[in-house]
Amino acid sequence: MGLAHEAAERLEAFFRGFAGSTAPLLLLDYDGTLAPFRVDRFKAKPWAGVSELLNRIQGQTKTQMVFITGRPAAEILPLLGLDAPVEVWGLHGTERLYPDGSRELEPVPAAVRKVLDDLREQLNRDSFGGLFEDKDNAAVMHWRGVSAARAKQIEQRTRKLFEPLARLDGLVLLEFSAGLELRAGRDKGGAVEAILKEKGAIGPAAYLGDDFTDEAAFEALQGRGLSVLVRREWRETAADVWLRPPAELKKFLTQWLEACRMQGQSRLSSS
Ligand SMILES: [Mg+2]
């Protein structure tokens, strides 16, 4: 009860901050945050009503909305189903896709690229019964949808392979729900830092995410915005508040819309 009350107060204070401010910044993870997980990730569509709310926020043209996903950036566009192009940071932040379609990729050092290439070759031959995903800057193993015993086996074999490599310069191990990623480059925390630096942390800012990989983003936003853990079950987190999807997520987006609408009105009435 205390927790829920505190969260409600925190949210209220956050949205009050929209009055008199400009260009609120809405940073959103995709999988698990806006869309429920699916074994086939190309079928992971947002919860009913979420795309509509995002479209309305975008249509207001007051919010700077940016998506930050672990996937290649372009993958989420057809799933999101938004009316206008948006900015997406992909591969946990090493890739940036602009609304005009241009794309930037953080360069991977040659030595690291060599390690990843060898790993690719090996996992393409044998992926331990898991799903191997080959990214520009990373090797990813997924075990969503398999039995618990099978998942444990895949995880053990993947760890044995990834963990020594993660000790090399320029490579880190990233744990996420039902998978492991060995990767190079900026993480979601680095992406949030870069976005705040570029867009200027002048107005209200929020980051919504569900996974361990979002914790770096929550930490990067500390003292500069509101971090929100979107998840059915609570877990230890650096986030300021916890929302259960989809109902509380939709309520948050509705409050965002309303706060932007009021923001316009207060500026009108004070001029
Ligand atoms: Mg996620």
Model pLDDT, residue 201: 61
The pLDDT tens digits of the residues spanning 94-138 come to: 999 999 999 999 999 999 999 999 999 999 999 999 999 999 999
* d(CA 33, ligand 1 centre) in Å: 5
What percent of the chain stands above pLDDT 70?
A: 96
Residues of the chain with CATH 3.40.50.1000: 2-105+186-270
Q: pLDDT at position 160, please?
A: 97
- In degrees and rounded to multiples of 5, residue 140 shows phi and psi of -125, 135
* pTM, to two decimals: 0.90
Q: How far is the CA of 46 from the centre of ligand 1 (A)?
A: 12
| Fold category of 110-183 in CATH | Alpha-Beta Plaits (3.30.70)
Q: How many A from CA of 31 to the centre of ligand 1?
A: 4
Distance 20 CA to ligand 1 centre (A): 32
The full DSSP string for 53-112 is HHHHHHHHT-SEEEEE-SS-GGGHHHHH--SS--EEEEGGGTEEE-TTS-EEEPPPPHHH
Q: How far is the CA of 151 from the centre of ligand 1 (A)?
A: 19
CATH architecture of 2-105+186-270: 3-Layer(aba) Sandwich (3.40)
Average model confidence (pLDDT) for the chain? 93
Q: How far is the CA of 179 from the centre of ligand 1 (A)?
A: 12
Closest C-alpha to 240, from 260, 211, 215, 212: 215
Question: Coil, strand, or helix at residue 251?
Answer: helix
- Residue 37 scores a pLDDT above 70: yes
